[in-house]
Amino acid sequence: MKNHLLIVFFLACLATVLTTCLRDELVQLEFVEVFTQTPRAIDNDITLYGTLNQIDNVIIREYGFALSATDSLPGLLNNDTLFSVSGMPLTLTFSRQLQKNALPVLAPFYYIRAYAIQELPGRERIAYSATQRLDFSLQVTIAEPIVLCFSGQAIAAAVIINRALDKPLDQHGFVYTSDNRLPELGKSLSIILGEVSAQAADPFSFQDTLRALQKDITYSIRAFAFYSNIDTIYSDTASIRLSETDSDNDGITNYCDPDDDNDGVKDEDDLNPLDPHRCGDSDGDSCDDCSIGVDGFGPLPDALPNNDGADTDGDGLCDAGDPDDDNDGVPDAQDVQPQDPKRCRDIDDDGCDDCAIGTDGFGPLPDYDPENDGC
């Protein structure tokens, strides 16, 4: 009997120990589980997705995403990039939008895990999802070509981003054509620049010279790159045209001439870069600085802000834009003699011009005074 009681007691103790030791396994039925969906990247915009198996009867202190460009199991304790939210989620699903250029390093891909920190009696538990990989597509961007004046040549430049850092690019370069077709390898003129090693920087910049370009022909240009056994990636199309046009006959074609009309104002500042009699109004006197000019397309400058039109009353506004050329106080449209301050009109029909006596002639004070016109 005594042995029977000892056996019962021993089994009861063993059950207590096993229950204590296996408590975590039993509690796991209440653990939060985290899942991820495939992240989405469109241009510079990235969306991360996560899902929890439950939010009722549990306490979640924090949740979010851990990202790493090198660690296939990114986590909170690995100094990896975190995008986190404090407190309980409102729904089982959660997401985070971010910009690619906000990531700490520019890498061709990132490993991502969603996570949640669950509060348990006396401790916390971090639950992770399985790892998802966010791959950025290889991209090639071409810059505006730069004409090398007087040479029939142009500089083409481009940038490759999102390269895989564990293998080289087989080829990169430029293709160009003048026949209005989209330039392609094997069908167009090409500049092959060879392999880009896995150790090269990302982004990777490159350039070369397009030679023997013909004048007055438009060329379409694309940069390209490809890995072996993978379709070629092309940039958008840039275009260039070496024009024969020389508006001012100074021996420099317009494409290379900083002042196409020889009026003394650079094209970038000229409101009408092909008209030597129109360039702008730098002094704000309402007359174009080139309106009078000197020799049109000739070698002398036509921009003369201090001599761009008559200013009868000397008020700083040339007559062409002055609403009152003689400063008599009567607008030109209503003035019978818009350039004579002593004559303007007889609004009171007393037989005397309302400006006959006046005040200061072309001066700033009005000369129009119907009550004091001498009659």
| CA gap 231, 120 in Å, rounded | 52
pTM score above 0.85: no
| Distance, CA of 177 to CA of 183 (rounded, Å) | 6
Tens digits of per-residue pLDDT, 241-253? Answer: 888 788 999 888 8
What are residue 228's DSSP bridge partners?
Answer: none
Q: Is the pLDDT of residue 107 over 90?
A: no
For residue 172, pLDDT over 70 is answered with yes
8 A C-beta contact, residue 324 and residue 332: yes
What 3-state class would DSSP assign to 173? Answer: strand
CA dist., res. 316 & res. 310, Å (int): 10
CATH number of 30-135: 2.60.40.2060
CATH architecture of 139-241: Sandwich (2.60)
Provide the strand spans (E) within 26-80: 34-36, 40-42, 45-52, 59-68
The pLDDT > 70 percentage for the chain reads 91
Residue 139: what residue type?
Q
Q: At 170, which amino acid appears?
A: D
The CA-to-CA distance between both ends of the chain, in Å, stands at: 148
Q: Tell me the mean pLDDT in the region 153-163.
A: 91
The two tokens of residue 46 are 């990235």
Domain extent listing, the chain: 30-135, 139-241
How confident is the model over 67-93, as pLDDT tens digits?
998 899 999 988 788 899 999 999 999
- The predicted pLDDT at position 206 comes to 97
pLDDT value at 199 more than 90: no
Per-residue pLDDT, 14:
54
- Give residue-wise pLDDT tens across range 134-154: 877 788 999 999 988 878 899
Can you tell me which residue has the tokens 């650079």?
Answer: 266
Q: Collect all residues with Cβ–Cβ distance below 8 Å to 66 and sequence separation of at least 6.
A: 74, 75, 76, 78, 80, 81, 82, 112, 113, 115, 128
pLDDT tens by residue, 329-369: 999 999 999 999 999 999 999 999 989 888 888 988 888 98
The pLDDT of residue 17 is above 70: no
Q: Which two tokens stand for residue 109?
A: 């891909």
Domains 30-135 and 139-241 share a fold: yes
* Number of neighbouring beta carbons within 10 Å of residue 77: 7
| Cβ atoms of residues 170 and 227 within 8 Å | yes
What CA–CA distances, in Å, run from 267 to 12, 148, 222? 98, 18, 28
Distances (CA, A) of 99 to 42, 64, 107, 136: 10, 16, 13, 12
Residue identified by tokens 């096993």 is: 18
